[in-house]
A = this chain, B = another copy of it.
């Protein structure tokens, strides 16, 4: 994996790394890449601006390091799901719950991802070259193909397109716990308790997914 930080950053204590990453994520999430200020980040993390440029060549490199950290967290979650016991429906339910949990715990990382998908940051999102999407796509497709072999998922389903829509459902679920706009939208659809009533959302999603994948009552 290409690194976007300098050697000096590798050598500092984990606690200090975390402090810098958290301050950077908060600033990028609140202001967007264009307006985010590296001086503000340095001050909030309690390091000098000179030290910051010792760790990162540019604001862009700092941003890409924050994104890589988010990917690292997401990869860990996906890996847990992949290796867990259970059939495809139990695994999908774990993913929906993980999406809720991590979106609530790291809203700023979601916000940065959301910003990155807009056209203004196309030059940055191109550098990330679909790494995360390739990992998720492969995981979903393998899960679907295996479940087709086991008779849990209808063999008539197109795994590529279905993997895409499953990821769409999870991505928009993550967004729905992130920006004010998406939080309000979820409340309009699901009800005023949408943000707290995680079970209602997961139950609805599981009903939909079980039906969608062909797990009909008679197994057809």
Contact stretch, chosen from A47-55, A66-74, A113-121: A113-121
Q: Give the distance to chain B from A195, nearest Cβ to Cβ, in Å.
A: 12
Q: For A220, what are the chain B residues with a Cβ–Cβ distance below 8 Å?
A: 216-218
Contact stretch, chosen from A10-18, A56-64, A83-91, A178-186: A178-186
- Summarize A's interface: helix, strand, loop or mixed: helix
CA of A172 to CA of B166 in the docked complex: distance in angstroms? Answer: 11
Q: For A205, what are the chain B residues with a Cβ–Cβ distance below 8 Å?
A: 161, 165
Contact stretch, chosen from A37-45, A98-106, A130-138: A130-138
Interface size class of A (residues with CB under 8 A): 35 or more
Q: Give the distance to chain B from A163, nearest Cβ to Cβ, in Å.
A: 6
Copies in the complex: 2
List 17 extra interface pairs beyond A34-B35, A133-B189, A157-B208, CB under 8 A: A30-B119, A31-B120, A34-B34, A35-B120, A115-B119, A116-B181, A119-B179, A126-B180, A130-B188, A156-B207, A158-B200, A161-B204, A165-B169, A165-B204, A165-B208, A167-B189, A168-B168
Using a CB–CB distance below 8 Å, which chain A residues touch chain B? Answer: 29-32, 34-35, 111, 114-122, 125-126, 130, 133-134, 137, 154, 156-158, 160-165, 167-169, 171-173, 175, 178-182, 184-186, 188-191, 200-201, 203-205, 207-209, 211-214, 216-218, 220
10 closest A-B pairs by CB:
A161-B204, A164-B189, A216-B216, A212-B212, A168-B172, A125-B181, A208-B212, A211-B212, A117-B181, A122-B180
